[in-house]
Structure 1
Amino acid sequence: MDPTVSKLLDTLDLERIEENLYRGLSADPGWQRVFGGQVIAQALVAAQRTVPPERTCHSLHGYFILPGDPSAPIVYQVARLRDGGSFTTRRVEAIQHGRAIFTLAASFQVAEDGLSHQSTMPEVPGPNETGLGGEGAKALLAGAPEPVRRYWERPRPIEIRPVSLDHYLSDAKLAPEQRVWMRAVADIGDDPALNQAVLAYLSDMTLLDTSLFAHGLSVFDRRIQAASLDHAMWFHEPVKVSDWMLYAQDSPFSGRGRGLTRGSIFTGDGRLVASVAQEGLIRLKDRQVT
């Protein structure tokens, strides 16, 4: 298996300390802070470990309270709020150095049939037709700013191919929307809970960026301070994250130092498998930048 995926799966395989109590490590201890998607996914795994496997998560809502320390373990404490006939509710608190750094509420449901409709997947070039999907990827990145080039060339467990890189290569004020193809770089199997956890992990990738595009900025710009504040996710259909998925994002609002972004995750054949919403901090360091 690809070593980056193997490391991710090890990171999501939490150690059970005691009933309702789990411990997780960071995949990248040398980073400045823990990646938000890791904390979301680990908290979801902790909740999953206390729920019967026939009940799958249909929604989660989390708040980032403090930056995580990558060099220290994170303890996840699960509260079993409800075990009903169809739904199960859990609350998870992620703790480091005696303080909560993240809280999660998650709801699980027994599979059932019902009325069904979904929005249509946007028509975009396929993953092999994007700037990072063809042979011109190296040439495209060669002219990019060094932080942008370093980010896109870094090995990672999730392959990311934006339909367009214009937002990262220009300071033009563009529409606050983004289309990104994503997939795990190796097959992780068919386990629904694990695929959900990895989907939660990747759902935090590129999302905050979209709220900055209308201002000619990106998360790589040193003139801003950016961080995720909260994260909500709804799981609609089962998904296999080793297959290509389109993450369609838009930002309806930014202001007062915050930006809101919404995301829809589709399979390659157009099934809507998850919806996401996130508010992030986009505080200006230089008030002359608008």
Structure 2
Amino acid sequence: MPQLCPAEPVVAVTRLPATDVFINTHPFETPGEKARSVFGGYLLGQCVAAAQQTVPDTHDVHSLQSTFLLPGSPYEKVAYHVERISDGRSFSSRLVRAIQGGNVVHFTAIVGFQKRAPDDASANPPPKLSYHEAMPEFGHGNPDDIDQDSAEACLIEGGFPKDMLDTWRDPFQWRILPRDRTIGQTDTTSPNLDPTHFRMQSFVRVHPSMMSSPSPSSSSPSSRGTHLALLAFLSDLFLIYTTNLATARPVTAFSIETTMNHTVWFHAPEVPINDWLACERDTSWADDGRVLIRQRLWRRSDGRLVMSCVQEALARVQKPSL
């Protein structure tokens, strides 16, 4: 099963002197020699970490809109070129280009930041709907009651190669609930349930021993930025395998599976990622070789919505051999 690894190194970037260019501080983890490209979560998390260093400490990331253009090598450094495209009184935007091989752009992102509201802000917040209210059966789940090997079993079910799984080092702990394929179905005995009615629920966190930074707070901007960069990394972790599980097809059934566009909204920047988060993933549309995957994360302790994410991926099924 995946081994735990320290969390901060997966999103750490180093600034080149007198520039807004950053490179990954540590080599990328790869699941064995079969890895053909750098995992997209690294690009997402590290581009947030790079952009964060070009805005004031009073600002938190609130959105990330990214496009994956070309696969990047997991064995070469990535240079994140940050362009300061706008700075207002409350909001700032950064354009980030991830470059390898000279001037080849492999990934681009627009990262939005918002100035943190003062603790005594008088504005009335809108009503909030927690996952306890939206999905009461999910709210009663307890990570301690779920098999520690549930994540490994889920990935193997989705066709993730066992030898690659054993070498993958991941800072996150997962506790995955039984998959629900019956949402919206009238005939639950049918062997061909609609994939868009598939829903996967789990609990996830960075193991406390894998996180040296304290919980984020308004007085600890570097720690806060690390937690948010790790949340961006998490947003892509095994997300595309929702397609495999929803269609009951293993990885080997697809000729290609890769992310095209990935958008994240950060709703609660002060929530620590080493708290248990409740995660729900589902598919909502597929056509012409593309699939749309959605996910939301809440803090388990109080049901507060922490992150929303939508991914468009390319997923082409293997043609049957003649």
Shorter-chain TM-score range: 0.7 to 0.9
What aligned pairs does 1:137-152 form with structure 2 within 5 A after superposition? 147=160, 149-150=162-163
Tell me the equivalent position of 1:70: 74
Question: Distance between the aligned counterparts of 1:130 and 1:144, measured in 2?
Answer: 17
| Structure 1 stretch displaced more, 101-110 or 182-191 | 182-191
Aligned to 2:186: none
Report if aligned partners of 1:17, 1:23 keep a CA contact under 8 Å in 2.
Answer: yes
CA deviation after TM superposition for structure 1 residue 148, in Å = 5.7
Instruction: Describe the superposition over 1:89-136 as per-residue Cα deviations: whole angstroms up to 9, x where unpaired.
Output: 1000000002001001011111235422333313323222234368xx
Matching of residue 33 in structure 1 with residue 33 in structure 2: no
**Counterpart pick for 1:225 among 228, 253, 256:** 256
- Conserved? CA contact 2:179–2:199, under 8 Å: no
* Aligned length in residues: 277
Amino acid at match of 1:28: E
1:21 is matched with 21
Following the alignment from structure 1 to structure 2, what is the Cα–Cα distance between the partners of residues 193 and 145?
32
Quote the Cα distance in structure 1 between the aligned partners of 2:240 and 2:157.
20
Instruction: Give the 5 Å matches for 1:168-247.
Output: 173=193, 175-185=197-207, 186-187=210-211, 188-190=213-215, 191-218=223-250, 220-237=251-268, 238-247=270-279
| Distance in 1 separating the partners of 2:11 and 2:157 | 33
User: Aligned-pair distance for 1:165?
Assistant: 5.9
Distance, in Å, in 2 between the alignment partners of 1:27 and 1:9 is 13
Larger Rg: 2
Q: RMSD in angstroms over aligned alpha carbons?
A: 2.8
Identical amino acids, percent of aligned pairs = 26
* Counterpart AA for 1:161: R
- Which segments of 5 or more consecutive residues in structure 2 lack a partner in the other structure? 182-190, 216-222
Conservation of the 8 A alpha-carbon contact between 1:127 and 1:133: no
Deviation at 1:83, TM superposition (A): 1.1
Question: 2:174 matched to 1:160?
Answer: yes
Displacement of 1:208 in angstroms is 1.7
**1:179 aligned partner, one-letter code:** Q
Map of 1:95-114 to 2, 5 A cutoff? 95-97=99-101, 98-112=103-117, 113=121, 114=123
TM-superposed deviation, 1:246: 1.2
Q: SS at the partner of 2:252?
A: coil
CA offsets per residue over residues 196-249 of structure 1, 9 Å max, x none?
00111011023222234442224x334442111111011111221111111111
**TM-score normalized with structure 1 length:** 0.85
Look up the equivalent residue of 2:65 and give its one-letter code: H
State the secondary structure of the residue aligned to 1:240: coil
Distance 1:165 1:47 in 2: 36
Question: Hey, which bits of structure 1, 4+ residues long, moved more than 3 A?
Answer: 131-134, 143-155, 171-175, 211-214, 221-224
Once residues 309 and 241 of structure 2 are traced to their aligned partners in structure 1, the CA distance between those partners, rounded to angstroms, is 14
The structure-2 alpha-carbon separation of the partners of 1:234 and 1:217, relative to structure 1 and needing over 3 Å to count, comes to: same
Name the counterpart of 1:275.
Answer: 308
**Contiguous gaps of at least 5 residues in structure 1:** none
1:127 maps to 143
Q: TM-score, with normalisation over the residues of structure 2?
A: 0.77
